Amino acid sequence: MRRNGVLLAALCFALLLAAAPAANGARFGLADDAGKYAEDGGAEFFADARALGSSEIRVTVHWNPLRPDTIVEKAFLDRSLPVAKKQGVGVVFHVFPLQPTAITSTPEAAESFASFLRQLAQAYPQVRQYVVGNEPNQPRFWRPQFLAGGKPTAAAAYADLLAKAYDALKEVDSGIRVIGLGLSGRGNDLPFALSNASTSPVRFLRDLGGAYRASGRVLPLMDELGVHPYPRSDRDSVLAGDRWPRAGVVNLARLKQAVWDAFAGTGQPTVERGLRLRIDEIGWQAAVPANRRAAYHGRETAVVTSEKAQAANYAKLIALAACDSSVSAVYLLHLRDDADLERFQSGVRRADGSMRPAYAAVRAAVAKSRRRGCIGRPTTWRHATGVGGGSARFRTGSRIASRLRRSWGFSVTAGEEATYTAGIFPAAAAGAAVRSLASKRAAGAVMTISGRVRAGWRPRLRFPDEYLKPGRYVYAVRLRASMNPRRSSVFVSRSFRVR
């Protein structure tokens, strides 16, 4: 995968920055194929999308490995793309295989997929943005996620695909923007789960970076990172987020850090070097009013939110994106609901075409964002060098502890998974204790323990039941981020006396 050295990498990075859109607020769009399939070529659909405030539409293009050189829906694309252009709406191609095992089943599949992308870019030179893949951290779209022994494998296979796709598209037109992954915000990291054995976004990015580094590649993998930060439940607010290592809209900093951990110092730019995030699919399913139920069929299988709450979440989402210069665009999934209740009812229009409250809310929020930009505090981010949310609670003060006490310990917590090495040190050597822990040792400790801290938990670290000699001591602990052991934090207690 190695290309022509540092000079080529520098040139490519310069082109990447030149092609990047100005950081003046996120564009708004839709992830919707309705215009592609419409009998009128999408004239009504694209006009409605434009009236809503959408400047671009993400359109699905499937790759069929049984017909690898065929643009299966070419007739639909030929009909709809000129209509979209006439309505002033840009088209973004979202390209991924029909089957989840299409890339991993044969050695030549990734190269064949890249050849298809090259063909697609030559056939439609007006399309300058490509989302490559769809939620490769989910088994519904990419398998296998894990090998038989439980080792993750999806990210490494996808890294090879994305590298080939990036190079193929750039060969056709260096100005094409390659949006990688379309990463799901969910994932359970359970290789032996009975169903849906998936990979969390943070761990997928770590594995992607590991595969990239191992390949020796010097060119980037992507110009932007596509993410799908759906809520855990449709009844959750956009502000609710999700637990580490998953990610909702308000947890994008978690993904930015994961990108930095994975790619800092390589040819793949991080957010601080110009990579932008694109929320290229998101939506909240809303309840269907009784007087509109006739337009639907089937049975609702999700716990949906109210139409009022959906409208509020969409407006807040657009406002949040406007305040984060690293977010390039936000695409809502669907303009109009699926009529089948077992599918997705996240549209700003109901299945019968009537407007939900979200239609007016979105149109107003997009207009306000374009007119005024960020309203409120801009989102700022810088990579962490320590453990996110790491802290220790010692509860020692300067009290005197009996040497007969046999239960020594304190509690720690972290906002991400971390490992720890903790010790009890003579107080006179507190400075040496800090230096010792920072250098990955615990020299000079009278007692040591080590282990792992789960994100968001506050376990009590217990030392062995042993007596301490009379004197003054300190507790000290080093936390190291599991996703990047180079990030660490050291905490030292006040001294306490043992008599």
Give domain limits for the chain.
5-372, 391-498
319 touches 366 (CB < 8 A): no
SS3 387: coil
pTM: 0.91
User: Residue 22: exposed, middle, or buried by beta-carbon count in 10 A (0-12, 13-18, 19+)?
Assistant: exposed
Q: Which CATH architecture has domain 391-498?
A: Sandwich (2.60)
Query: What was the pLDDT predicted at 397?
Result: 54
257 touches 384 (CB < 8 A): yes
Structure-derived torsion over alpha carbons of residues 464, 469, 470, 471, reported in degrees to the nearest 10: -80
Angstrom CA distances, 357 to 104, 286, 310, 315, 418, stand at: 44, 11, 8, 11, 44
Query: What was the pLDDT predicted at 228?
Result: 98
89, amino acid identity = V
Binning the chain into helix, strand and coil, the percentages to the nearest 5 are 30, 20, 45
Q: What angle do CA 235, 237, 243 make, to 5 degrees?
A: 95
CA distance 255 to 481: 14
Query: What was the pLDDT predicted at 399?
Result: 52
CA distance 406 to 424: 13
Q: How do the pLDDT tens digits run along the chain, 499 residues long?
A: 434 433 333 333 333 333 333 335 799 999 999 999 999 999 999 999 999 999 999 999 999 999 999 999 999 999 999 999 999 999 999 999 999 999 999 999 999 999 999 999 999 999 999 999 999 999 999 999 999 999 999 999 999 999 999 999 999 999 999 999 999 999 999 999 999 999 999 999 999 999 999 999 999 999 999 999 999 999 999 999 999 999 999 999 999 999 999 999 999 999 999 999 999 999 999 999 999 999 999 999 999 999 999 999 999 999 999 999 999 999 999 999 999 999 999 999 999 999 999 999 999 999 999 999 999 899 999 999 999 999 999 976 545 455 545 678 999 999 999 999 999 999 887 787 777 776 666 678 888 899 999 999 999 999 988 888 888 999 999 999 999 999 999 999 998 888 7
- Domain 5-372 sits in CATH at 3.20.20.80
Instruction: Tell me how crowded residue 431 is: count the other CB atoms within 10 A of its CB.
Output: 10
